[in-house]
């Protein structure tokens, strides 16, 4: 299965909140769920998946390997634990969540081990997240661009990450946009509000449609049924060239996910 373009994010959602969000999402038609070892919710995501009745081969499940599990001896056991929590035999996609802080562990070591996890059948596809161009070059040198199913990065109208996005396009790397709604901030943006009014849509839907039209997958999160449904419907929108150009002017380098262990961004 290729990566479905519209997925459901689960960052920050814990306990019953994540169970409800994933259950509602699956009911509404989402078939792509994005979690991570550090989110502490893989078991609840697994519970919601198991109780949904959606056949396993119809849903695409991603998890991400945390920075403390990047060593040669930790990575594969950590993915086996993720599979146990998720109640799955195989992930659809396993990502390196962040490059090793200060590059304490070499890209070659964890990309080789991730490729080994794939060949052992733990994941159907592998990829990366929060990689800079330098990290991407190293990853490509180790496993080849065709083995990297996606690079998941923060992308929204206020952070368009143009350098790394251009590098990915040049090398045929698919992009997945995380925080595509700038954690809800898109709702207050006047240009997006104006375009939304023209389409009888919401600014959130416009932000998602804009990313989808660039060929990205998007993984918005929501705890509200109405928002989950609206985000799914963003796929039906089509923005004009002029509208896409207007949204491109909203770039302001506003990075929301920037922990102290982040790499030096491009």
Ligand X SMILES: NC(=O)c1ccc[n+]([C@@H]2O[C@H](COP(=O)([O-])OP(=O)(O)OC[C@H]3O[C@@H](n4cnc5c(N)ncnc54)[C@H](OP(=O)(O)O)[C@@H]3O)[C@@H](O)[C@H]2O)c1
Q: Which is closer to ligand X, CB of 121 or CB of 151?
A: 151
Provide the binding-site residues for ligand X, judged by CB under 6 A.
9-11, 34, 97, 129-130, 152, 178-184, 187, 202, 204, 219-224, 227, 230-231, 257
Instruction: List beta partners, residue 123.
Output: 91
- Give least dist CB 121 to ligand X, A: 24
Nearest to 157 by CA among 210, 193, 117: 210
Known catalytic membership, residue 39: yes
- Give least dist CB 256 to ligand X, A: 7
- Give least dist CB 12 to ligand X, A: 6
Instruction: List beta partners, residue 96.
Output: 65, 128
97 annotated among ligand-binding-site residues: yes
Q: Which is closer to ligand X, CB of 73 or CB of 226?
A: 226
Report the residue closest to ligand X, judged by CB: 9
- Give least dist CB 221 to ligand X, A: 3
**Strands of the sheet with 175-178, listed across from one edge:** 8-9, 32-34, 60-65, 91-96, 123-129, 148-154, 175-178, 217-218
| Whole-Å CA distances, 32 to 22, 125, 218 | 10, 14, 10
Question: Which one of 39, 110, 178, 183 is the catalytic residue?
Answer: 39
Q: What burial class does residue 214 get, using C-beta atoms within 10 Å of its C-beta: 0-12 exposed, 13-18 middle, 19+ buried?
A: middle
70 touches 261 (CB < 8 A)? no
d(CA 23, CA 133): 36
Q: Which is closer to ligand X, CB of 160 or CB of 222?
A: 222
Query: Which residues are known catalytic residues?
Result: 39
């Amino acid at each position: 299965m290729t990566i479905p373009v519209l997925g459901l994010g689960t960052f920050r959602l814990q306990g019953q909140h994540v169970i409800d969000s994933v259950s509602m999402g699956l009911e509404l038609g989402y078939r792509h769920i994005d979690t991570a070892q550090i989110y502490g919710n893989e078991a609840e995501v697994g519970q919601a998946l198991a109780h949904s009745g959606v056949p396993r081969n119809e849903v695409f499940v991603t998890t991400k390997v945390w920075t403390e599990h990047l060593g040669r001896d930790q990575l594969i056991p950590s993915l086996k634990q993720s599979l146990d929590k998720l109640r799955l035999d195989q992930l659809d996609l396993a990502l390196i969540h962040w490059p090793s802080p200060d590059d304490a562990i070499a890209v070659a070591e964890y990309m080789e081990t991730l490729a080994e996890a794939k060949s052992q059948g733990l994941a159907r596809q592998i990829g990366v997240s929060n990689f800079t161009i330098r990290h991407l070059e190293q990853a490509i040198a180790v496993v080849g661009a065709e083995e990297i199913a996606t690079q998941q990065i923060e992308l929204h109208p206020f952070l368009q990450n143009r350098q790394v996005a251009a590098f990915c396009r040049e090398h045929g790397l698919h992009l997945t946009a995380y925080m595509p709604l700038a954690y809800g901030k898109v709702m207050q943006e006047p240009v997006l509000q104006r375009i939304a009014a023209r389409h009888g849509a919401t600014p959130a839907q416009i932000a998602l449609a804009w990313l989808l039209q660039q060929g990205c997958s998007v993984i918005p999160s929501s705890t509200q049924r109405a928002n989950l449904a609206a985000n799914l419907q963003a796929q039906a929108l089509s923005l004009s060239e002029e509208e896409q150009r207007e949204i491109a002017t909203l770039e302001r380098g506003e990075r929301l996910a920037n922990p102290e262990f982040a790499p030096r961004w491009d």
